[in-house]
Amino acid sequence: MNAPDKVISDAPKAIFLKDYTAPRYLIDTVDLHFDLHDDYARITSRLSIHSNHEHSQQNQPLILQGERLKLIAVKLNDQLLTAGQYQLNEDSLTILDVPAGFTLEIVTEVKPQENKALEGLYKSGGHFCTQCEAEGFRKITYFLDRPDVMARYTTTIVADKKYPQLLSNGNLVEQGELEDGRHWAKWVDPFKKPSYLFALVAGDLAHLHDTFITRSGRSVSLRIYVEQHNLDKTAHAMHSLKQSMRWDEDTFGLEYDLDIYMIVAVDDFNMGAMENKGLNLFNSKYVLAKPETATDADFDGIESVIGHEYFHNWTGNRVTCRDWFQLSLKEGLTVFRDQEFSADMSSRAVKRINDVRSLRTVQFPEDGGPMAHAVRPDSYIEIGNFYTSTIYNKGAEVIRMMHTLLGKAGFRRGMDLYFERHDGQAVTTDDFVKAMEDANQRDLTQFRRWYTQAGTPEISAAGVYDAATQSYTLTLTQSCPATPGQPHKEPFHLPIAMGLLDAQGADMPLQLEGEDAATGTTRVLELRDAAQTFRFINVAQPPLPSLLRGFSAPVKLHAHTSRTELAFLLGHDSDAFNRWEAGQRLAGEIILGLVAAYRDGQAMTLDDSFVQAIAKALHSKLDPAVVAQLLTLPSELYLAEAMTTVDVEGIHLAREFVRKTLAQRLKADFEQAYRANSVPGTYRFDAQNVARRSLKNLALSYLMTLNEPAARALCMQQFNSADNMTDSIAALAALSNQDCTERALALAAFYDKWRHDPLVLDKWFGLQAMSQLPGTLAEVQALVQHPAFEIKNPNKVYSLIGAYTRSNPIRFHDISGAGYAFLADQVLHIDTFNPSVAARMLGALSRWRKFDATRQALMQAQLQRIIAQPGLSKDAYEVVSKSLA
Ligand code: TRP
Ligand code: ZN
């Protein structure tokens, strides 16, 4: 592609891991003074700096990062520097001549009220707050803004008393009053930390208070700060926090280390939450919940994000990342920890199913597209673009595989050694793997390829039973497709958990050739070669293999399993995950078969054996939460992944056909399931009630596909009488997908009831954006103009524009291209004030090569239009340029 010269020379530059060098200077202490005003903030930063002897030569200039700052003054050892003694440019401040040790005082000014990028110091809902990860601290003051520079921070905040709460990291040591209605507070954080963990809040906030006694007997004050009117929505977050603290003590022996732990809910936030030391900032979506306003899924989400940020205190804060290429060191590990926590709090099988579902619908496409990158990437243009599902979720899978290979006790030994070696340090993913190796005397050299090679490995399995020798030979082969910059891959080291079922569906004891006796019924095979054979002996009858139990590795598995065998596994596998998996594969094959039929102009028909398999699952004695999962058909996004060229209409029509046919044939069964799982009495958030609601509402959604008056009446009745948001939203979602008079009535009633609750309105926007009805784009376009929609609020953007473009394939990929043009319009606008959110939205266009020629051209045209935009952010530039490459 030929671009004008100027664009090439101006194109943002990539940063490479191979160029990493240790910092030339280190900072021991940081003394910050914030003077907050309504129209500006003045920040005075006093740094004690010394040269990092091993890594610097005499008199090397000191280069500090800083962006969008107004520099007021710089003093070196209390001497004001004159213009010739430093250099200032767009993103740095260079002090030309510095001694080996010195203090530097820098005064800057910023305008928090104008900051809509939500990085650095900004205002949300009238409160001051900060977001410094990854590179936001440089938008507050000039600094060595890199995670391997760890310092002790003291923070003084001065503000008007209309901001009663003045909060920062660590412990409050002093506070006082000033004249003219102002006051101040001084915080000291005793732990060394990188700048990305700095935080400050000043606002008029109420808080819920509790205490936690650690296992060594220390008392920790727990506080959740929210706006006064939200105080009644903080109990679940507090409960989740205490559970997290207990769980980390019990599971990993990790105790909290400060006397106070604060969480502040913020309405305008780019991501989920942020683990700043002692002062977590949360998107209010992950704090606020009461049964009337939050769904069961919201309650779960809060539990896992509260856990996630709390667990970062050890995996991220006490031991942090050397550089941003190591991001998965803290994120992959912390996601693994929050997944295990959630699994222990409720249904392990359902948690695993949901995690794998999101891995497959988000991470696998990322790994197969133009933005594919390794868990430890080699380069980036904008680090904000690398807070990806690969870093987080595939990173967690990599940790999980080590857990599987080393066992629970071995993994714990590795964690203990990791903290023993690296507490207080900034380290690499390699240091983590090394601790796992050394604690277990294991060689993980080959395993490390998971960190450096991108792409989703493909595994093929073929088994042969030999009756004469009573043996079963399983051959596994692996390969991995090319990804950008990585044409060829070396074999991975992967754990394949498996079992063998007999004709009754019972697990058979497993004995590999060369072993004295059978041990266990689930075994972990270690696949290391491109092709490898495993021979089981004393196999009394032809077995049916159950492979990749619990999804023991993040791969695509190909095995020749007939539909009859899949139905058998769905009915019998002792591994709940693999039951679900068999059902998904069966449904997937059937739907994709129907897509082919549709394309050939044939009528769609549904095999009765599938209907019977579903009926059997519905009537099984399994946990209703698992049953609901078994009955959920693979999503359109997941099915699209399985096609070389996505058939947008075919997938939608075939999947809807199957849903409707199941509803017709099993109508009485679904009605019965609906009644049997209706929970009388008031709402409770516990495993049993959540499970029953999930199955009841799944039954309702099937019944509603028929769009019959009786189903609609049932739906309206549930909508009108629900005492909780789970049931209310389930009914409204079902209605919003049907063309009926009840739809508009219910949507209007819901809006009227919740017009003053922004988080509930996000759901209302989201449901309309995800409606399968043909008029959806027009509705979404109208909703962007709705008075309750705020383009500067990321939650609103994600719930309306994000839901439409990422979760509504049939309407987003409209053959007119109007969906693509709409997204480009929105992104170009959002990019002018919040590049991070704009870049996130662009993911929906990056896999244009998966589509037919017409759609390819339309998507490409919008990408071209975006990249031609003068002043495009480097965030958006990176996504678009890589997508077009
Ligand atoms: N470290 C945060 C987490 O995973 C992620 C995060 C929150 C973040 N806000 C951010 C990353 C803003 C980049 C920019 O818990
Ligand atoms: Zn995290």
**HEC profile for 396-462?**
HHHHHHHHHHHHHHHHHHHHHHHHHHHCCCEECHHHHHHHHHHHHCCCCCHHHHHHHCCCCCEEEEE
Closest ligand to the CA of 286: 1
Ligand that comes closest to the CA of residue 837: 1
Which atom of ligand 1 sits closest to the CA of residue 269? 9
C-beta of 317 in contact with ligand 1 (< 6 A): no
**Mutational pocket test of ligand 1: of 271, 284, 312, the residue with most ligand atoms within 8 Å of the beta carbon:** 271
Alpha carbon of 204 to ligand 1 centroid (Å):
24
Instruction: Indicate which atom in ligand 1 lies nearest the CA of residue 309.
Output: 15
Residue 309, ligand 1, Cβ within 6 A: yes
Q: How far is the CA of 196 from the centre of ligand 1 (A)?
A: 10
CA distance 626 to 576: 8
Q: Whose CA is nearest to atom 7 of ligand 1?
A: 274
User: Crossing angle of helices 327-345/395-422, nearest 10°?
Assistant: 110
What is the per-residue pLDDT for 681? 84
Centroid of ligand 1 to alpha carbon of 128 (angstroms): 18
CA of 12 relative to ligand 2 center, distance in Å: 27
Mutate to test the pocket of ligand 1, among 145, 274, 281 (most ligand atoms within 8 A of CB): 274
Which residues, in sequence order, are CB contacts of 305 under 8 Å at separation 6+?
272, 273, 282, 286, 338
pLDDT digits (tens, 9 = 90+) for 182-223: 999 999 999 999 999 999 999 999 999 999 999 999 999 999
The one-letter code for the residue type at 823 is L
CA of 274 to the centre of ligand 1 (A): 5
How many beta carbons lie within 10 A of that of residue 17, not counting itself? 16
Tokens (6 digits) for 679? 């929970």
Measured distance CA(770)–CA(788) in Å, rounded: 18
Predicted confidence (pLDDT) at residue 57 exceeds the cutoff of 80: no
Atom of ligand 1 nearest to the CA of 273: 7
> What separation in Å is there between the alpha carbon of 14 and the centre of ligand 1?
21
For residue 10, the model assigns a pLDDT of: 73
Residue 553 in this model has a pLDDT that exceeds 80: yes
Q: With a 6 A CB cut-off, is 273 part of the ligand 1 pocket?
A: yes
| 586 CB within 6 A, ligand 1 | no
Q: What is the mean pLDDT of residues 458-479?
A: 98
Indicate the pLDDT class of residue 569, thresholds 50, 70 and 90.
Answer: very high
Q: Is the CB of 636 under 6 A from ligand 1?
A: no
Closest CA to 812 of 843, 791, 853: 843
The predicted model gives 134-151 an average pLDDT of 98
CA distances (Å), 523 to each of 157, 460, 534, 765, in order?
A: 58, 18, 11, 47
- Taking the CA of residue 331 as reference, the ligand 1 atom at the shortest distance is 4
Residue with CA at minimum distance from ligand 1 atom 15: 274
For the CA of 384, the nearest atom of ligand 1:
13
What is the C-alpha separation between 619 and 673, in angstroms, rounded?
A: 9
Cα 330 to ligand 2 centroid, rounded to whole Å: 7
- Contact between residue 619 and residue 548 where contact means Cβ atoms under 8 Å apart: no
286 within ligand 1 shell (Cβ under 6 A): no
What is the reported pLDDT for 59? 76
The Å distance, Cα 134 to ligand 1 centre, comes to: 7
pLDDT tier at 510, thresholds 50, 70, 90? very high
Mean pLDDT confidence for 704-710: 97
Query: Please, which residues have CB within 8 angstroms of residue 762's CB and are 6 or more apart in sequence?
Result: 285, 795, 796, 798, 799
Closest residue by Cα to residue 269 from 300, 231, 242, 309: 309
Q: Is the pLDDT of residue 8 over 80?
A: no
CA distance 708 to 713: 9
Ligand 1 binding pocket includes 338 (Cβ within 6 Å): no
- Reported residue count of the chain is 885
| Enzyme catalytic residues | 309
**What's the gap in Å between 309 CA and the centre of ligand 1?**
10
Output the residue whose Cα is nearest ligand 1's atom 14: 133
- Asked whether residue 291 carries a pLDDT value surpassing 50, the answer given is yes
Q: Is 335 in the pocket of ligand 1 (CB under 6 A)?
A: no
The rounded mean pLDDT for the chain is 97
Is 154 a pocket residue for ligand 1 (Cβ < 6 Å)?
no
pTM of the model: 0.98
274 lines ligand 1 (CB under 6 A): yes
> Does 130 contact ligand 1 (Cβ within 6 A)?
no
Residue whose CA is at the smallest distance from ligand 1 atom 1? 274
The CA 10 to ligand 1 mean position distance, Å, reads 28
- 383 CA: nearest ligand 1 atom: 13
Q: Is the CB of 268 under 6 A from ligand 1?
A: no
Question: Amino acid identity, residue 107?
Answer: V
β-strands 219-226, 260-266 pairing? parallel
Name the closest ligand to CA 335: 2
Q: Identify the H or E element spanning 875.
A: helix 874-884
Name the band, by pLDDT with cuts 50, 70 and 90, for residue 4.
very low
Q: How far, in Å, from the CA of 451 to the mean position of ligand 2?
A: 18
Cis peptide preceding 497, ω within 30 of 0: no
pLDDT-derived band at 53 (thresholds 50, 70, 90) equals confident
Best substitution site from 244, 270, 282, 338 to test ligand 1's pocket, by max atoms within 8 Å of Cβ? 270
Examine the pLDDT at 3 and tell me if it is beyond 60: no
Q: Is 875 in the pocket of ligand 1 (CB under 6 A)?
A: no
Distances from the Cα of 318 to the Cαs of 245, 279, 486, in angstroms?
A: 15, 14, 34
Q: List pLDDT tens digits, range 732-768.
A: 999 999 999 999 999 999 999 999 999 999 999 999 9
Cβ atoms 725, 754 nearer than 8 A? no
Q: How far apart are CA 130 and CA 120, in angstroms?
A: 5
The answer, yes or no, to whether residue 9 has pLDDT greater than 70, is: no
Q: Which two tokens stand for residue 780?
A: 């979404």
pLDDT score for 2:
41
Predicted pLDDT of residue 5: 42
CA of 28 to the centre of ligand 1 (A): 25
HSE, side-chain direction, 13 A CA sphere, residue 433: 20
Beta carbons within 8 Å of 690's beta carbon, 6+ residues apart: 296, 299, 346, 625
Tokens matching residue 326:
């190591």
What ligand is nearest to the CA atom of residue 386?
Answer: 1
Q: Whose CA is nearest to atom 11 of ligand 1?
A: 133
Nearest to 197 by CA among 311, 315, 280, 117: 280
Probe residue for ligand 1, chosen from 115, 118, 133, 834 as the CB with the greatest number of ligand atoms within 8 Å: 133
Q: Mutate which of 312, 387, 836 to test ligand 1's pocket (most atoms within 8 Å of Cβ)?
A: 387
Name the residue with the closest Cα to ligand 1, atom 5. Answer: 274
Q: Is the CB of 331 under 6 A from ligand 1?
A: yes
Q: How far is the CA of 378 from the centre of ligand 1 (A)?
A: 20
Pocket test for ligand 1, best of 115, 131, 324 (most atoms within 8 A of CB): 131
Domains within the chain, CATH numbers bracketed: 27-50+59-282 (2.60.40.1730), 322-452 (1.10.390.10), 474-553 (2.60.40.1840), 555-665 (no CATH), 755-885 (1.25.50.10)
Atom index in ligand 1 nearest the CA of residue 134 equals 13
> DSSP state, 634?
P
Residue 56's pLDDT is 72
Question: Three-class SS of residue 761?
Answer: helix
Q: Is residue 688 scored above 80 in pLDDT?
A: yes
> Cβ(384) to ligand 1 under 6 A?
yes
- The predicted-structure confidence for 369-395, as pLDDT tens digits, reads as follows 999 999 999 999 999 999 999 999 999
